[in-house]
Amino acid sequence: MKIAFIGAGVMGEAIIAALLRQKITTPGKVYAHDIDQVRLTAIEKKYKVNSTSDIAKAVSDCDVVVLSIKPQVLAKVLNNLKGALKEGQLVLSIVAGASIETIGKGLQHDSVVRVMPNTPAQIGQGMSVWTATSAVSQVQKDMAQIILGAMGKEIYLQDEKYIDMATAISGSGPAYIFLIMEALTDAAVHIGLPRKLAEELVSQTVLGSAYMSRETGKHPAELKNMVTSPGGTTAEGLLCLEKGGVRAILAQAVIAAYEKAQRLGGQGSK
């Protein structure tokens, strides 16, 4: 499978690393293009893939073209690639907010898959939500599934409207979790725990809680109640969180991220 990466940022690199780690493809069949020559050189050196500053050359004869660029430069990239793709090539876009219609019209190409991955893909624990146009063949869907599966869990959705919603949860979600982890660690240090010990306690607690939720299948409220004894320490801590409006703040964060994804999509179509 020959794959071209237009954009070699964090997520582009994560996909390259996952594909090579899982032996889905080989370095010689990966082509990378980026306007940042320093970044491009670094990717070439680290993964031994092909690199080029010529965007048309990068996509030539590749089975899959991955658009892993910022929404702000999408219009320029689409213009540069308009009409350059062949009928059998699959476009896999991870551009936040950019609709399938925007990508397809901009490229004058019908076979488009839109994906929202997240950064845990770097360690094979990612969450990718994706959809595809009707022009995407079953063989191409299978290729997309293989690529995304190399990064972790993947979910196909028929309705594209859920992609921006997923962006606000699984796409941006790791940042929310990392912020909570940072805050818990700082709080632990504040009450007297050594920082290294605090980091270990927080990391394993978050990991264990996530696994417990997945493995038991219980509702988060039920799991929360299992930890909370009447009049105990956890009840006191939860009361403080509820008074602080933690639920409302998290809801506002998700809504803000969702609305931003929609606005970014509007930028990409300009």
What pLDDT does residue 270 have?
41
Report residue 78's pLDDT band, with 50, 70 and 90 as the boundaries: very high
What pLDDT does residue 232 have?
96
**Residues belonging to the chain:** 270
pLDDT in tens, 112-133: 999 999 999 989 999 999 999 9
**Homologous superfamily of 173-261:** ProC C-terminal domain-like (1.10.3730.10)
What pLDDT does residue 240 have?
96
pLDDT in tens, 151-165: 999 999 999 999 999
Supply the CATH classification number for the domain 3-158. Answer: 3.40.50.720
**CATH 1.10.3730.10 domain locations along the chain:** 173-261
**Looking at residues 232-245, what average pLDDT do you find?**
96
Report residue 266's pLDDT band, with 50, 70 and 90 as the boundaries: low
**CATH 3.40.50.720 domain locations along the chain:** 3-158
Q: Please state, in angstroms and rounded to a whole number, the distance separating the CA atoms of residues 58 and 92.
A: 15
What pLDDT does residue 68 have?
93
Indicate the pTM of the whole model. 0.86
pLDDT in tens, 177-194: 999 999 999 999 999 999
pLDDT at 25 over 70: yes
Report residue 267's pLDDT band, with 50, 70 and 90 as the boundaries: low
Output the average pLDDT for the chain: 93
pLDDT at 236 over 70: yes
pLDDT at 202 over 90: yes
